[in-house]
Amino acid sequence: MSMFRQLADRTVVLFLGVGVGTAMGYAFAGDIRDKVAGEPPAPPVQVRAKPVKAEVVAEAAAIECAIPFQPRLIDAIARGDKVRIGVFGDSFGDGVWAALYHQLPTRDQYDVIKFSQQSTGFTRYASLNLEDHVAEQLATQHVDIAVISFGANDTQGVMHQGKFAPLLSPAWKDEIGARIDRYVGLLRKQGAIVYWVGLPVMKKPSFDADISGMNAFFADRMKRIDVPFIDTRPMSVDAVGAYAAYLPDPGNETPRLIRANDGIHMSMHGYQRLTGGLAERIRHYIGEARAYAARGGMTLPAAASVSTSSAIVPEPAA
C-alpha cells in the first residue's frame, strides 16, 4: 500500500508540474497577464550568454562544502531522517519546486516541500507580508535547505518611508533589499543554507528589461549577504542569445519545449533545465554532509572563512 501511495503521489506531482509549465502563467490574477495579453508577438530578446559548464557547478558546490554543516542537518542525517528542502516563491517558485521534487526524490532521502504561493512578492506586502508568512511557516516545520525564487510579480513601485519609490530606484532597492535581508535571515536563523534562483529571459522586451534589472539587483543583494545566486538567463536562450520556446538538451539536436505559452513561465522540462545544476549542487553538498556525519562529525570540512556567495554564472560571450 505504501508503494502505491508513493506512486500516486508522484503521479499527482507530475501532472501538477506539467500544469506549472503550461497553465500557471494565468494564475497571477492580473499581476502578470496584463504584461502579455493582447500584444503582438515580440521580437527576439538579444541576450548574449553561454551555457553553464558542469565544472562551474561543481566548483560552486565545493564552496558550500567548505562551510561547517549545521548541527541540525548532521543530527538528522545521523538519525536517517530525510533532508528537508523548502522551496519559497511565487508561481515561478511553484515550478522550481515541482522540478526539484523530481530531481531530488524521496528514495534518495530528500523531502522537497512546497512553501511557494502564487501572486506573492516583496512589493506586495499589502496582500501578504512575506516575512510574517515565512515566520509562521517555519514555526511548525524546519528546512535544512531553502530555495527562493521571487520577482515575477515585483516589477512595480513600492512605498518607502511614506513616499512612492519607482521600480529599481535607490529607495526601491533600499526597501526591497531590507525585506529580502530579513526574509533570508529568518531562514538562516533556523539553520537553513539558502539559494536564490533568478528568473529566465522573458519574451516581451519591456518586461524582460525590468526582469533583467531586477535579476541584477537580486544577484548583487545575494552577494552582499553570502547567498548563492543561480543565474538562469543563460539557460533560457538559444545559440545567439535570444529568447527561445524550444531548445535542445546538451548532446541532443532535437529541440524540446521549455517555455509556457505566456512567454514567462517554463514547461516542466524547462524548469528541470533551469534547476538541474542546482539539484546537482545540493546532491554534492548533502553527499559531503553525509560523509561528514559518517565520520562522527569530528573534523570540520575545510576552512569556514570561504564565502557561499559564488553564483552559477555563464562564461562571457565571445
Any idea which of 149-163, 187-201, 222-236, 296-310 has the lowest mean pLDDT? 296-310
Phi and psi at residue 141, in whole multiples of 5°? -160, 145
- Residue 55: CB atoms within 10 A of its CB come to 8
CATH of the domain at 142: 3.40.50.1110
**Grid coordinates given for 109:** 532521502
Q: State yes or no: pLDDT of 14 exceeds 80.
A: no
Could you tell me if residue 235 is inside a domain?
Answer: yes
pLDDT for 295: 87
Any idea which of 32-41, 136-145, 149-158, 287-296 has the lowest mean pLDDT? 32-41
Nearest to 110 by CA among 132, 137, 66, 77: 77
Could you tell me if residue 318 is inside a domain?
Answer: no
Q: Are strands 229-230 and 193-197 parallel, antiparallel or unpaired?
A: parallel
Enclosing domain of residue 100 = 2-38+51-294
Could you tell me if residue 93 is inside a domain?
Answer: yes
User: What are the tens digits of pLDDT across the range 185-227?
Assistant: 999 999 999 999 999 999 999 999 999 999 999 999 999 999 9
Could you tell me if residue 215 is inside a domain?
Answer: yes
Alpha helices in 141-204, H assignment, sequence order:
170-189
Q: What is the pTM of this model?
A: 0.78
Q: State yes or no: pLDDT of 265 exceeds 80.
A: yes
pLDDT for 296: 81
Q: How far apart are CA 241 and CA 239, in angstroms?
A: 6
- Residue 70: CB atoms within 10 A of its CB come to 17
| Domains identified in the chain, total number | 1
Alpha helices in 190-309, H assignment, sequence order:
205-224, 268-294
Confidence of residue 103 (pLDDT cuts 50, 70, 90): very high
Mean pLDDT of the chain: 81
Could you tell me if residue 310 is inside a domain?
Answer: no
